[in-house]
């Protein structure tokens, strides 16, 4: 394909991926998704599979099951309610599909969550997390490049985003750099982890090939400040979700975690890197 065609395909599939992750409870008919991407329904599933690495059906099924796993781990919702939301008509069909993916039934997965959280909490070493609070995030428009794969390999996306942003005049004082982490590495296979390397923008910017544009809606988040290397972020995530959050009586919402990078790894020693972790909360009553 010519470069212009490649860029167009990336832009169109990116729109579909955003629509799917925001509409997991909808039927998501193939014709509807093809229309969003402006592809013929006859060819769309082939294009999607070739660019995403799995069929639409496989992609949606996996995301729904992974969301269910996150809800089992992070909420007290009834298993049948979670099953119905994931698109399964009975507890039995959900249990079969869940066990096939996670090698244990949902009830056992839920029982194991406390042990899993405790295993991730740092033991015998100083905490890198501080400033725990509930924060309100205002709606934000961002430009981004999606990385699919292990989180420790996201640097490639940033290496593409920065030169493009520089050419667009988006770099400068007040720049907000953030990572949008959609998946829990305890649940999603490393090669399927989704992460958007993103920058907030205050003026209209058009998507261009791998560069996408999306709106992050306003909402309440559990927030903590992590100080130290990025590879230790999982410890602070565990402290925020497994120690501080339960004391608040709040529950996590099925949406992406956001990391705001307050200084640059290019000019800051690893031990002094500062990252705000924002975990989305269900609305308070």
pLDDT mean over 162-175: 92
Instruction: Give the pTM.
Output: 0.75
Contacts for 252 with CB less than 8 Å, ≥ 6 apart: 70, 74, 75, 222, 241, 245, 279, 280, 281, 282
- Name the β-bridge partners of 179: 197, 259
pLDDT at residue 127, as a whole number:
83
Domains of the chain in start order, with CATH, are 3-114 (1.10.10.60), 129-280 (3.20.80.10)
CB 231 within 8 A of CB 44: no
Q: What is the pLDDT of residues 33-72, one digit of tens each?
A: 999 999 888 778 878 988 888 889 899 999 999 999 988 9
- Name the β-bridge partners of 220: 136
Of residues 116 and 105, the one with the higher pLDDT is: 105
Pick the closest to residue 32 from 4, 60, 54 (CA basis).
60
List the end-to-end C-alpha distance of the chain, in Å, as a whole number. Answer: 52
pLDDT at residue 112, as a whole number:
79
pLDDT at residue 119, as a whole number:
52
Pick the closest to residue 87 from 64, 69, 104, 54 (CA basis).
64
Is the confidence at residue 2, as pLDDT, over 60?
no
pLDDT at residue 255, as a whole number:
86
Q: What is the pLDDT of residues 204-251, one digit of tens each?
A: 999 988 999 999 999 999 999 999 999 999 889 988 987 888 788 888
Pick the closest to residue 200 from 256, 260, 157 (CA basis).
260
CA trace torsion 66, 70, 72, 76 (10° rounding): -140
């Amino acid at each position: 394909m010519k470069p212009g065609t490649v860029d167009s395909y990336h832009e169109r599939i990116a729109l579909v991926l955003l629509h799917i992750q925001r509409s997991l409870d909808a039927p998501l008919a193939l014709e509807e998704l093809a229309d969003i991407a402006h592809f013929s329904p006859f060819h769309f599933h082939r294009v999607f599979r070739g660019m995403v690495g799995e069929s639409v059906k496989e992609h949606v099924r996996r995301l729904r099951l992974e969301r269910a796993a996150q809800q089992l781990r992070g909420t007290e919702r009834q298993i049948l309610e979670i099953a119905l939301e994931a698109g399964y008509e009975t507890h039995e069909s959900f249990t079969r599909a869940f066990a096939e993916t996670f090698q244990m039934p949902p009830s056992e997965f839920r029982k194991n969550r406390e042990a899993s959280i405790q295993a991730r909490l740092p033991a015998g070493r100083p905490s890198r997390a501080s400033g725990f609070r509930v924060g309100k995030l205002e709606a934000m428009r961002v430009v981004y490049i999606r990385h699919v794969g292990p989180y420790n390999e996201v640097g490639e996306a940033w290496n593409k985003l920065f030169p493009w942003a520089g050419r667009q005049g988006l770099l400068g004082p007040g720049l907000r750099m953030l990572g949008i982490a959609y998946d829990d590495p305890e649940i999603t296979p490393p090669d399927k982890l989704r992460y958007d390397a993103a920058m907030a923008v205050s003026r209209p910017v058009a998507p261009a090939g791998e560069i996408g544009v999306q709106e992050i809606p306003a909402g309440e988040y559990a927030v903590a400040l992590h100080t130290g290397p990025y590879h230790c972020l999982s410890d602070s995530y565990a402290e925020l979700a497994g120690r501080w959050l339960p004391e608040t009586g709040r529950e996590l919402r099925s949406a992406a975690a956001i990391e705001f990078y307050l200084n640059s790894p290019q000019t800051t020693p690893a031990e002094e890197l500062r990252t705000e972790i924002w975990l989305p909360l269900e609305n308070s009553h």
